[in-house]
Amino acid sequence: MQPVTRYAKSGDVHIAYQVFGDGPINLVLAPYFVSNIEVYWEHPAVARWLLRLGSFARVAMFDKRGTGMSDRVPELPGLDQRMDDLRAVMDAADMEQAALLGASEGASLAALFAATYPARSRALILYGGFAQFSSWLPTEKDLAEFLAYIDQAWGSGGSIAVFFPSLANDPAAQQWMGRFERLGASPAAATELMRMNSQIDISISCQRSGFPHLSFTAPATEQSMWRGAVI
């Protein structure tokens, strides 16, 4: 049984979040560029991973504004403002301090939050993250291919090759990923978010962060797998 979805307020924006687990450590998951916290639980492998986290930590996870079950907004703000979604969830979950686990764009958000609010950040765990967007999609051609996938095939689950590469050859997992895409954001919203993410550069802010951190990524074949998914 998955946790109850609740809403925190970041200014006037409602941020959907869940809290689960009862371990001694607070842990906040900053999500991929799109997410849906209820759909996560529908895939057995993802659900097992979440339950494992909850076995040793009190975990909060959320959908950023404009994605999942959080409020849609007329215009997506920059990362400086969007990281307040994380702060709002920590406040609502009564977490004064937490370790932060960020994936993809969520890693950039978590790192910027830690640099901005050091007293509230216990540690950083970054998966597939980047301080500069060009570290992920280094050329305009790469970005154009990503945007072409969103425009032509969003909802098919093809992005599983990027975000869950170990499941890329599993038809059931790709079907789940298609639902995750559709309920995470519309094609137009996903495109706007990717264009905004292409401007991310928090390299200077990251130099201010001296927290214990763990950074890891998927195999080097990940990007070529993505290209295969969009062509």
Q: Residue 31 in contact with residue 106, Cβ under 8 Å?
A: yes
Q: What are phi and psi of 143, to 5 degrees?
A: -65, -40
How many other CB atoms are found less than 10 A from the CB of residue 142? 17
Residue 197 phi, psi (nearest 5): -65, -30
Token pair of 161, please? 């090759």
Residue 207 identity (one-letter amino acid): Q
Task: Report DSSP state, residue 214.
Answer: E
Q: How many other CB atoms are there within 10 angstroms of residue 210's CB atom?
A: 9
Q: Which residue reads 């910027």 in tokens?
A: 112
* Alpha-helical regions (H) of the chain: 37-40, 44-56, 79-82, 84-92, 105-116, 140-153, 160-163, 171-184, 187-197, 203-206, 222-230
Give dist(CA 203, CA 16) in Å, integer: 29
Question: Considering only the top CATH level, what class is 6-230?
Answer: alpha beta
What's the whole-model pTM score? 0.85
Q: Check residue 193 and give its pLDDT.
A: 87
| Dist. CA 5–CA 207, nearest whole Å | 35
pLDDT at 151: 97
- pLDDT for 221 equals 35
125 with 213: CB under 8 angstroms?
A: yes
134 vs 91: CA distance, rounded Å: 33
Phi and psi (nearest 5°) for 58? -90, 115
Measured CA to CA, the distance from residue 37 to residue 70 in angstroms comes to: 10
Pairing of strands 25-30, 98-103: parallel
**What tens-digit pLDDT sequence spans the chain (231 residues)?**
789 999 999 999 999 999 999 999 999 999 988 999 999 999 999 999 999 999 999 999 999 999 999 999 888 777 888 889 999 999 999 999 999 999 878 888 898 899 899 999 999 898 876 666 665 666 788 889 989 999 999 999 999 887 778 888 999 999 999 999 999 999 999 999 888 877 766 665 555 555 555 555 555 434 333 333 332
The Cβ of residue 113 has, within 10 Å, a number of other Cβ atoms equal to: 28
